[in-house]
Structure 1
Amino acid sequence: MKIGSHLYRIGNDIVASYLVVTDEGITVIDAGLPGHWRDLTRELAVLGRALGDVKGVVLTHGDSDHIGFAERLRAATGVPVFVHSADAARAKGGDKPPASGGRMRLPGVVSFAAYAVRKGAWRTRHLTEVVPVEDGDVLDLPGSPRVIALPGHSPGSIAVHVPIADAVAVGDALTTRHVLTGNVGPQPAPFTDEPDLALNSLERLAGLEASWVLPGHGAPWRVDPGKVQAAVRARLEPRRPGS
């Protein structure tokens, strides 16, 4: 699905990955679930491009619903898979601390679980090789994506700012569709290691030149990145009686 100039989404509002498409090639941001491989190849065919046009994958963090087809793509084409050094072990299958999903609603949980099964979540292959990155790195990939550390959801969570696409991908630093409740709108993501840190990290988006904020779960959000933290904080404020 085309979002804007040079920018496409595969997947849907439950789990999504993004493609930055340029004349020099394609950068994949996050790799969703294993079954998104078919979505990737189908989107490439629509664009008249091939797997060989993909020059690299950038992971916003190392959780299983973001690394889905990354190892398959790396093994098939030899492209590098970039992840923050603090999440490299997680992307390779290392332990992660327990984190609460918080409030749940049955329809939301069922929708997420059904989609995960349909997209082969149980077949996720962890990475065997990664290229570690750090805050501030500008990667030698199509679109020249820049790494912005957003620790909280995981120690190595990052945003990926791509000026040519007028966008910043934020992974699970926030969500616009809660996978456990189905609630839509900007809000904290569930299964976050350090919720307070994750919320504070959103301040690092201020000043970025982008019109699109791209979560890993939920619809792309057209917003000034400088307004993101306040919008997510507002979602946490208790409602007044009668509101």
Structure 2
Amino acid sequence: MKIKENVLLLDSTRGANCFIVFDEEITLIDTGLPFMGNSIIKELKTLGIQLTDIKHILLTHHDVDHISNIKLLKEHTGAKVWAHMEDIPFIIGKKDRPGFKKFIGKTISKRIIKDVEPYGNNMQVGNIKIIHTPGHTPGHVCMLFEDVLFAGDLVKNKKGNIIPYPNLWNWDSEKMMKSVSEIENLKYNWICMSHGIPCAKQ
């Protein structure tokens, strides 16, 4: 699905959306649900994207449905993988996810990677601005590229309504709502969440 000329939603990733951004260097945002990796690779090739042209993989947060194919996709692309420093310990297997997410995380224990770069103080990769939006996870981030906001699991699209992600899944619901309020002040025209169809800003 084309969001705009330089931003695509990968159709093979519906359910846990992944996006391609044609920035100075091609960037993949998130890596999808378990066992989705080969479908992602197939779609990228169908789109005419050379896998080795993908230079960056940006992760919105550590949840399983966002990082499951990270090892496979890094092996095929050679891309540098980025995440917020507070979520990296969960991604590389040094920390267990809290609550019932701990058991979900075990499903990808053999498919994790160890070399993940922190976004750093400038919080920008290429022209993609990284915005720390804790609440869903400690290191959850949103990303702003031109007039497109990638919201991760901060919000979801439910039947055309943009709503905060349900409290059941959140690390800290109070911080989550503060982060939701903060992104409302950002300037963008499109919002691309991980669950639900991207839409114009409401």
Structures share fold, TM-score greater than 0.5: yes
1:153 and 1:172 in contact (8 A); partners too: yes
Question: 1:135 and 1:186, CA in 2 relative to 1: closer, same or farther beyond 3 A?
Answer: farther
For 1:15, what is the secondary structure of its paired residue? Answer: coil
TM-score (norm 1): 0.71
Q: Which runs of 5+ in 1 are unaligned?
A: 101-120, 178-182, 225-243
Task: Name the stretch that deviates more: 148-157 or 28-37.
Answer: 28-37
Structure 1 stretches of at least 4 aligned residues deviating more than 4 Å after TM superposition: 121-124
Match of 2:41 in 1: 41
Q: Distance in 1 between matches of 2:42 and 2:156?
A: 26
Match of 1:189 in 2: 165
Match of 1:132 in 2: 118
Q: Distance in 2 between matches of 1:160 and 1:170?
A: 7
Partner amino acid, structure 1, of 2:177 = L
For 1:57, what is the secondary structure of its paired residue? Answer: strand
Match of 2:53 in 1: 53
Question: 1:123 and 1:95, CA in 2 relative to 1: closer, same or farther beyond 3 A?
Answer: closer
Task: Name the stretch that deviates more: 38-47 or 57-66.
Answer: 38-47
Q: Distance in 2 between matches of 1:12 and 1:92?
A: 23
Partner amino acid, structure 1, of 2:2 = K
Task: Name the stretch that deviates more: 124-133 or 84-93.
Answer: 124-133
Deviations 1:136-168, CA, capped at 9 Å, x for gaps: 51113xxx21110100001100001111xx211
Deviations 1:158-184, CA, capped at 9 Å, x for gaps: 001111xx211111111114xxxxx66
For 1:176, what is the secondary structure of its paired residue? Answer: strand
Q: Distance in 1 between matches of 2:15 and 2:121?
A: 28
Identity %: 28
Match of 1:113 in 2: none
Match of 1:228 in 2: none
For 1:86, what is the secondary structure of its paired residue? Answer: coil
Query: Once the 2 structures are TM-superposed, how far is the Cα of residue 13 of structure 1 from its aligned partner?
Result: 4.5
Match of 2:186 in 1: 208
Match of 1:107 in 2: none
Query: Once the 2 structures are TM-superposed, how far is the Cα of residue 36 of structure 1 from its aligned partner?
Result: 2.8
Report how many residues are paired: 194
Q: Distance in 2 between matches of 1:47 and 1:152?
A: 35
Match of 1:96 in 2: 97
| Pairs within 5 Å for 1:1-243 | 1-10=1-10, 11-22=12-23, 24-93=24-93, 94-98=95-99, 122=107, 125-134=111-120, 136-140=122-126, 144-163=127-146, 166-177=147-158, 185-190=161-166, 191-223=169-201
For 1:16, what is the secondary structure of its paired residue? Answer: coil
Q: Distance in 2 between matches of 1:203 and 1:99?
A: 27
Match of 1:229 in 2: none
Partner amino acid, structure 1, of 2:124 = V
Q: Distance in 2 between matches of 1:58 and 1:25?
A: 12
Q: Distance in 1 between matches of 2:25 and 2:53?
A: 5
Query: Once the 2 structures are TM-superposed, how far is the Cα of residue 99 of structure 1 from its aligned partner?
Result: 6.5
For 2:180, what is the secondary structure of its paired residue? Answer: helix
Question: 1:99 and 1:123, CA in 2 relative to 1: closer, same or farther beyond 3 A?
Answer: closer
